[in-house]
Amino acid sequence: MDYNTNRDKLRLPEYGRNVQEMVDIIKNTPDREERNRLAKSTIQLMGNMNPQLRDVVDYKHKLWDHLAVIADFDIDIDSPYPLPTQAEIHQKPMKMKYSNPDEIRFKHYGKILEDMVRKTTQYPDGEEKDALIATVANQMKKSFLTWNRETVSDDVIFSDMLAIACNRIKIPEGLKLKDSREILRIQAAATNTLTNTNASKKSKKKKSSPLKKKQK
């Protein structure tokens, strides 16, 4: 008996054993034109087997890359795209730089809000900058109340904002932020709505489940 466990390991199992064997036949075909013809037919088959790849940008290029992988990067054909090398495919991605938590001065605001505060320092003085400062300050107040369920004065928000901006901005004179009680009321209402929606979905799911009738 010829078991798959005794055969060579599939390089891309999602395409199956037949595609693997077809690619091996292409590699061993002496005539170049015939190799190219078989390669194009195999690419078409691979595309039909994985229609979801059509949603990928430049999916044809991806199929030819997969063909190279299945061939173990040893195939002599005229590909419409540069065939990748083993080093390129198995190249380790660049290490991502993660934010250092210690760089965030006020963790209850988060890095994005602190970046937004620093961004306001780059705007020229005027109505647009004042409007941006007011918007960011109100968002800071919402974030503060999300993690600290108590009232907070506008002066605390303004003080934190100036600290993040290193005093490179000026709080617009007479700026009033949204009332803490109103913010907490809206947040509580949103939480209750979400809770009720989830409970309603669970209830409907239970009601829609078929009941087993007792056999007499």
- For the chain, how many structural domains are there in total? 2
Domain boundary among 44, 66, 89: 89
User: Please, which pLDDT band fits residue 213 given cuts at 50, 70 and 90?
Assistant: very low
Residue 24, burial from CB neighbour count under 10 angstroms (0-12, 13-18, 19+): middle
Q: Is residue 1 part of a domain?
A: no
Instruction: Quick: pLDDT tens for 91-146.
Output: 887 877 766 655 778 888 988 999 999 999 999 999 999 999 999 999 999 999 98
User: Which residues constitute the domain of residue 83?
Assistant: 7-89
Q: What is the pLDDT of residue 183?
A: 86
Q: Is residue 39 part of a domain?
A: yes
Residue 137, burial from CB neighbour count under 10 angstroms (0-12, 13-18, 19+): buried
Instruction: Quick: pLDDT tens for 168-211.
Output: 999 999 999 999 888 888 888 888 888 888 777 777 666 655 54
State the average pLDDT for the chain: 86
Residue 111, Ramachandran bin (φ over 0: left; ψ between -120 and 50: alpha; else beta):
alpha
CA-CA distance, 134 to 89, in Å (whole number)?
Answer: 49
Tell me, rounded to whole angstroms, the distance of Cα 142 from its chain centroid.
Answer: 26
Element (H, E) at 3: none
Does one domain contain both 77 and 117? no
Q: Is residue 194 part of a domain?
A: no
